Amino acid sequence: MTWRLNPSSGLHWRCWDDEWVVFDQGSGQTHLMNPVTAAALMQFDAQCLSFEQLLDKVAADMSVTSNSELASALSLAVEQLVGLGLLESARG
Amino acid sequence: MTLSELAQAELRTRLRGVGLKLACGPFNYRIRSPIGAIADGLRLLYADYRIPAESEFIDFTVNIERSGGLRRFWRPQVKFAYDGTYPFVPMQLDHAFPLLEWAMNWCISSQADHFLMLHSAVIERNGGAVIMPAPPGSGKSTLCAGLVCRGWRLLSDELALLSFTDGWITPLARPISLKNESLDVIRKFSPDAVLNQVTHHTTKGSVSHMKVPTAHLARVAQRARPRWVIFPKYVPGANARLTPRSKAQSLLSLGGNSFNYGVLGLKGFEQLSELVSQCDCYDFEYSQLEQAVAVFDALAQELVA
Amino acid sequence: MNANLIASVWARSNPCPSLSITDWELLLGQARRTGLLARLAQHLLDRGWMEQVPAGPQHYLQGALRLVERQKLAVRWEVNCIRRALGERQTPVVLLKGAAYVVANLPPARARLFSDIDIMVPREQVAQTEAALFAAGWISAERDAYNQRYYRTWMHEVPPLKHVQRNTVLDLHHTISPPTSRFKVDGARLFDQVQAVDSEPGFCTLGPADMVLHSAVHLFQEGDFGHGLRDLLDLDDLLQHFSGSDPTFWSTLLSRARELALGVPLAHALRQLERLFGTVPPLELRPEFSAMGPGGLARHAMSTLIGAAVRPQHPSCDAPFSEAARWLLFVRSHYIRMPAYLIVPHLLRKAYMRQFPDQPPTAA
């Protein structure tokens, strides 16, 4: 299973003191995100990613080794992002 | 020319006929109504407001009419007519003046998209403005009125108008609406405050409006730069206290308290981001107005130092 | 003052309006009332006249345009959400009215605000589509059992669906006109002519002639004549656009109107367009278009009624006759939609519910 950004999204980020806010032009919605969800979403540009690829990238971004806590937090984050319509599953 | 220069008879004639024109900050109104309480309220609270010249564009024409038919005599009602429609349900006749104020607010908040409009009070001292967003019941209006009575300049008690070019705030300076307990609090706090007669049993309880000091109206064309975003909350028995608030959370709260953030898209987001970046954001608890004023004054002092 | 300033804006030969400041106030008021503020702004922008508009009115004109732009984004997002809800399907989903204008980039989208998204699926797929939408968060906005029955049994709609989080409204159709109406249309025939939308895979719009006919039928069947002028302008836009890119369009429209037995609403609409904007079919087809409408007295009476009803409901140009005309047309509109023996109980019921929204009526 791989995911990608919803093609109609257009993300604009701001950060203050480790809190991330993103505005999505496609849906017109503004989201306040915790660091894991923000980190997850930021990995997607033009590419599709599998969960393992995503986990590795986020771990690298956060300068931690990937572990089961990060994995489950990330799993929740992906679910949330799909529910918000920001991520969608891609073929393949 | 100001409203106070109109003879009483002339005021009533205009209200019943062609309409009374009134400038409120960046907006010009034309008000029409045959109702006596409207004329009285305007005479008291809007004495120092400018009457626009013939050549000036009138942004909003507000009609406060009596309901016809049975309701003309039995439990008489008034309604707000705008461009041939009735945006609100009719109200009792004695709610006419508050209805006028709510109608005037509605005109701006539903149409003035050339500003980013926040549902908040805005006051200014020493060149810095405080934006106070707050849902109803937070004590924002009492606090706003109290501060205005102690030397803070009123920009607005309900509607912050942010410019898209530089983020500065344009004053509206319309009378401050007060309700229920705040009426007594303000009367005690500032016996000189001029208040319109109280209307009881509205959906918000007992309401009245406080006149804006003349000196503030003289500066209605002076915009102000926002320096603080403060979320007030009246907490019985609490000491006045500022606690820093996350800028990210503040952005979301401001967006949720905005009249047109949702329709402005990216432009609105960029404007609010700029605002929270530039301003110190706080939560504020208080119960005593004197204490609250002292805390705010100390903030304003920082600008002079 | 009875100046119908707003209608005169679109008279064909109109030069740049040079209006006094009071006239601008009136014009904006009339435009707001008829839902034409954005279109007025677009009209001025297209002709390079916006700079000459005084600063005051310009704020509100520009504001209306911003709203339209914002709406286009919102529509595309809703369509996106609908696609995710419905998944892969054998037959495409047809977008109607405003949503269609936006995704197909048709002229009415440039300056029109609308509140609902309308989609059409084959009749046999309505239940399954409604189920899929429900699973994705669209629930019926209609709580009253009578109104539910009104919609499902008599009208062509599932009652409007509202999304639980976004509060957006979706109308699900299987044809463009109610089955009980004099002008009923079998949805299957419409599907023969649908056209794919490049930017939205899985979605289609009606064929051009059908889009025009839908607009004409909608104008006379829906109860809302406050926005008649706006709907006529949209219709005019569509006609200009389609006939501009296809010289055979008018004769296609003529045969399709006959095929679907929608000649009468089309004839009425064309009569208004001629009266207001000077839009006419090509010379050689005019007799045939004329022949489609009712003859003589009926035609004149209907035309006068509609003309009066289409006058903007603004105090500055409401002739006393207009309100009565509007009411007559509303009753007639319901008459067209439902046979007379059904209409009276329905109207009273709706009036009752408006008066006492929290009290269900006790008797049947």
Radius of gyration of chain A (CA): 12
Residues B99 and B149 grouped into a single domain: no
Q: Which chains touch A (3 or more CB pairs under 8 A)?
A: B, C
Residue C363 near chain B (CB below 8 Å): no
**Each residue's pLDDT tens digit, B251-261:** 999 988 888 88
pLDDT at C344: 47
Residues B257 and B233 grouped into a single domain: yes
The residue from B111, B140, B163 where one domain ends is B111
Residues B184 and B287 grouped into a single domain: yes
Average of per-residue pLDDT across B149-176: 95
- Nearest-by-Cβ selection for C73 from A28, A85, A88: A28
pLDDT at C346: 47
- Which residue out of A14, A33, A34 would a mutagenesis test of the B interface target, given it has the greatest number of B Cβ atoms within 10 Å? A14
pLDDT at C15: 64
Average of per-residue pLDDT across C256-269: 90
Residue A92 lies in a domain: no
Min Cα–Cα distance to chain C from B90, Å: 13
pLDDT at B100: 95
Residues B220 and B247 grouped into a single domain: yes
Strand partners, C172: C119
Secondary structure (DSSP) of C317-334? G--HHHHHHHHHHHHHHH
- Nearest-by-Cβ selection for B252 from A12, A28, A30: A30
Q: Which residues of A touch C80 (CB under 8 A)?
A: 6, 8, 26, 85
* Window from B57-61, B92-96, C35-39, C145-149 with minimum mean pLDDT: C145-149
Cβ burial, residue C123 (10 Å; 0-12/13-18/19+): middle
- Domain boundaries, position B219: 116-304
Residues B200 and B216 grouped into a single domain: yes
Answer whether residue C350 shows pLDDT above 80. no
B264 and C25 within 8 Å at the Cβ level: the answer is no
Band of the pLDDT at A17, cuts 50, 70, 90? Answer: confident
pLDDT at C141: 76
Residues B55 and B173 grouped into a single domain: no
Q: Which residue has the higher pLDDT, C51 or C145?
A: C51
pLDDT at C336: 46
A17 and B248 within 8 Å at the Cβ level: the answer is yes
Residue A6 lies in a domain: yes
Answer whether residue C317 shows pLDDT above 80. no
pLDDT at C363: 41
pLDDT at C280: 87
pLDDT at C295: 63
* Window from B191-205, C54-68, C288-302 with minimum mean pLDDT: C288-302
The residue from B64, B90, B111 where one domain ends is B111
Structural domain tally of chain B? 2
Answer whether residue B132 shows pLDDT above 90. yes
- Domain boundaries, position A82: 2-86
pLDDT at C203: 94
Average of per-residue pLDDT across A57-71: 82
**Closest residue of chain A to B254, computed from CA coordinates:** A30
* Residue that is written with structure tokens 């994995």 in the block: A71
Q: Which residue has the higher pLDDT, B149 or B91?
A: B149
pLDDT at B122: 97
Residue A19 lies in a domain: yes
Residues B215 and B287 grouped into a single domain: yes
Residues B159 and B252 grouped into a single domain: yes
Which residues of A fall below an 8 Å CB-CB distance to C? Answer: 6, 8, 25-28, 85, 88
Average of per-residue pLDDT across C230-249: 91
First to last CA, chain C: 47
A12 and B277 within 8 Å at the Cβ level: the answer is no
pTM of the model: 0.81
What six digits make up the tokens of B109? 């908040």
- Nearest-by-Cβ selection for B266 from A19, A21, A23: A23
B84 and C318 within 8 Å at the Cβ level: the answer is yes
- Range with the largest mean pLDDT of A67-76, B122-131, C326-335: B122-131
Min Cα–Cα distance to chain B from C288, Å: 40
**Each residue's pLDDT tens digit, C51-61:** 989 999 999 99
Residues B94 and B184 grouped into a single domain: no
pLDDT at C287: 86
Q: Which residue has the higher pLDDT, C239 or C143?
A: C239
Answer whether residue C69 shows pLDDT above 60. yes
Answer whether residue C155 shows pLDDT above 70. no
- Nearest-by-Cβ selection for B83 from C29, C55, C59: C29
Band of the pLDDT at B180, cuts 50, 70, 90? Answer: confident
The residue from B111, B126, B157 where one domain ends is B111
- Which residue out of B116, B245, B247 would a mutagenesis test of the A interface target, given it has the greatest number of A Cβ atoms within 10 Å? B247
Answer whether residue B279 shows pLDDT above 80. yes
Residues B56 and B197 grouped into a single domain: no
* Window from B234-248, C1-15, C171-185 with minimum mean pLDDT: C1-15
Residue A52 lies in a domain: yes
What six digits make up the tokens of B115? 């500003």
Average of per-residue pLDDT across B66-81: 83
Average of per-residue pLDDT across B168-173: 96
Residues B84 and B159 grouped into a single domain: no
Band of the pLDDT at C227, cuts 50, 70, 90? Answer: low
Residue B220 contacts residue B170 (beta carbons within 8 Å): no
- Backbone torsions φ then ψ of C173, nearest 5 degrees: -120, 165
Average of per-residue pLDDT across C308-333: 51
- Range with the largest mean pLDDT of B137-146, B162-171, C26-35, C125-134: B162-171
| Average pLDDT over all residues of chain C | 79
**Closest residue of chain C to A82, computed from CA coordinates:** C84
| Average pLDDT over all residues of chain B | 92
**Each residue's pLDDT tens digit, C205-221:** 999 999 999 999 888 77
* Window from B40-49, C4-13, C161-170 with minimum mean pLDDT: C4-13
Number of helices (H) and strands (E) in chain A: give both, helices first.
3, 6
* Window from B228-237, C71-80, C274-283, C329-338 with minimum mean pLDDT: C329-338
Which residues contact residue C305 at a Cβ distance below 8 angstroms, ignoring those fewer than 6 apart? C325, C328, C329, C332
Structural domain tally of chain A? 1
pLDDT at C359: 57
* CATH number of the domain enclosing A12: 3.90.930
Average of per-residue pLDDT across B173-188: 92
Band of the pLDDT at B228, cuts 50, 70, 90? Answer: very high
pLDDT at C362: 47
